[in-house]
Amino acid sequence: MSTAVREALRRMSVPAEPSGVVVGGEWSRGRGTLESVVSPINGSLLGEFHAATPPDVDQATEAAATAFLQWRCVPAPQRGEFVRQFGERLRQYKEDLATVVSWEAGKITTEALGEVQEMIDICDFAVGLSRQLYGKTIASERPGHRLSEYWHPLGPVGVISAFNFPVAVWAWNAAIAWVCGDPVVWKPSDKTPLTALACQALVVQTLERCPDVPAAVSNVVVGGVDVGQSLAASARLPLVSATGSVAMGRAVARTVAARLGRSLLELGGNNGMIVTPSADIDLAVRSITFAAVGTCGQRCTTLRRLIVHESIADALRGRLLDVYCRLPIGDPTKDGTLVGPLINEAAGDAMQHALAAARQHNGVVHGGERLQDGVPTGGVYVRPAIVEIAAHAPIIQQETFAPILYLIRYRDLDEAVRIHNDVPQGLASAILTRDVREAERFCSPSGSDCGIVNVNIGTSGAEIGGAFGGEKQTGGGRESGSDSWKAYMRRVTSTVNYSDELPLAQGIRFDV
């Protein structure tokens, strides 16, 4: 194991013994098999965990359901104080947690730190929110009646998260769920369990400072598909929030829907950007590169389709290729590296399959090769690819979780918007233009059909203050800021009659 990871985990008080189930402050082995955690940086063994099984999930959800009975009655600002304290722990251990994120997910240091910062930001947001869970007063049509709506805690929330944002996406859910009065049962990706255990260790530290908080407000079950399915099936979890592939989301949604639960889905993206003739080309090169190769193309918001006006396509391609061939690729923990490894061999294979499919449809592939020199052995390092391709090539309909940027040319904006929207996914989108009419058109109802619509910035790197999520196969869920909190609460509509009469709505007479 990397000494850096071992030391970071020790400082955060993660027990050295492998566990896979943590219920509040109780660390235990899962009843499943012993699994290894391998670093994408160099294939080194980072740790082990005993996978959770469906009975472990049952135990965790039961504890969460019991904690809920107490937590729902704690005033929201006091729940916010717990989140504030957790945010303090994150500040204190920001570097340590980022180290584990880097080693486990392969992120470059600045992005790993950014991910922990995103957790701190959502905690701050949630603390403020804990005093702003506003309801409404509605004009009643009946004299002597008061009509209002208010929000109550919903119940324990299941969170299923992916390897690529191993901690931030959980924090978006957990911080908001907690102030809303909901305990959380978290199934992290089985590729990144150590970051989850580290987060739980910081929660346990926070619990020690908050003796009135029921420990099972936070629980972790590490495991595979069966663990995710048990969460989805658990009637104790009125809400399951899942981030990951479309296939995973479909399976979760089906199971949750069968018991008429609520699911909040944040699934695949196939994000596009339109670059118009008036775009600032220097800004374009920087924003495209960060969006397309950041996190080695493994963000759900990664830029995958670049739709460029034919008059500037050659010039922009030239500028991008120039940057792409100089990209510092390699050990993500080293200063100056901008592109770290893919998560595993399967991701490397998926990238090569996509490039082969692109070639079959006359795509012209620049880069994309596996690198062996100047990179750590034991990891999957690739040169990000730019693929010039026609808009109708089938491969561009798919999200391949790797740094492949399809470059498609367009003639007029209508065509560009059509190409842009002609994919099954609908997460993030962008237009680069200095023409306000083009920008507004893209943001209008006849423009981008995505949940995130940007002008003169890339598709990735959203702030936590907005609601995050997308349409179509992306699943329709919204997490993080704005009024996403409403998914974590139940709405009560309440009519109070303070008169001596009993007038009926709609003017109905019913005299007895």
Q: Min. distance of Cβ 324 from ligand UN1 in angstroms?
A: 20
Beta strands in 3-85 (DSSP E): 21-23, 26-28, 34-38, 45-50
Q: Are 269 and 428 in contact (CB under 8 A)?
A: yes
CB 27 within 8 A of CB 5: no
Interface positions with ligand UN1 (CB under 6 A): 118, 164-165, 169, 243, 299-301, 460-462
**The tokens of 140 are what?**
């009643």
Sequence-distant (6+) residues with CB within 8 A of 292 are 302, 303, 304, 306, 384, 403, 405, 458
User: Distance (Å, rounded) from C-alpha 452 to C-alpha 466?
Assistant: 9
Shortest distance, position 304 Cβ to ligand UN1, whole Å: 12
Q: Choosing from 115, 118, 266, 388, which is the catalytic residue? A: 266
- Determine whether 123 is an active site residue: no
Residues near 46 by beta carbon (within 8 Å), at least 6 away in sequence: 1, 2, 5, 37, 38, 39, 103, 104, 194
Q: To the nearest whole angstrom, how small is the minimum distance from the Cβ of residue 427 to ligand UN1?
A: 9
Task: Spot the catalytic one: 300, 388, 399, 479.
Answer: 300
Residue (168 or 355) nearer to ligand UN1, CB: 168
Q: Strand, helix or coil at 46?
A: strand
Question: Are the CB atoms for 252 and 223 separated by under 8 Å?
Answer: no
In this complex, which beta carbon is closest to ligand UN1, that of residue 206 or of residue 243? 243
Nearer to ligand UN1 by C-beta: 42 or 245? Answer: 245
Q: Which is nearer to ligand UN1, 367 or 461 (CB)?
A: 461
CA distance 463 to 505: 45
Query: Which structure tokens are listed for 502?
Result: 């009993």
Q: Which is nearer to ligand UN1, 299 or 420 (CB)?
A: 299
Structure tokens at 5: 């990871």
- Contact yes or no for 57/158 (Cβ under 8 A): no
Q: Is 463 a catalytic residue?
A: no
d(CA 201, CA 208): 11
**Closer by beta carbon to ligand UN1, 130 or else 243:** 243
CB closer to ligand UN1, 355 vs 428: 428
d(CA 434, CA 61): 52
Kindly tell me which of 20 and 340 has the beta carbon lying closer to ligand UN1.
340
Number of Cβ atoms within 10 Å of the Cβ of 202: 25
CB of 401 to ligand UN1, least distance (A): 10
Half-sphere exposure of 485 (CA within 13 A, CB side): 31
CA atoms within 13 A on the CB side of 268: 18
Minimum CB–partner distance for residue 158 and ligand UN1 (Å):
17
Helices (H), 72-137: 76-92, 94-105, 109-129
Give the strand order in the sheet containing 404-410: 364-366, 385-388, 404-410, 303-309, 271-275, 428-432, 452-455
342 DSSP 8-state letter: B
| String of DSSP letters for 472-491 | ETT-S--EESTTGGGGGEEE
Nearer to ligand UN1, 243 or 473 (CB): 243
As annotated, the active-site residues are 266, 300
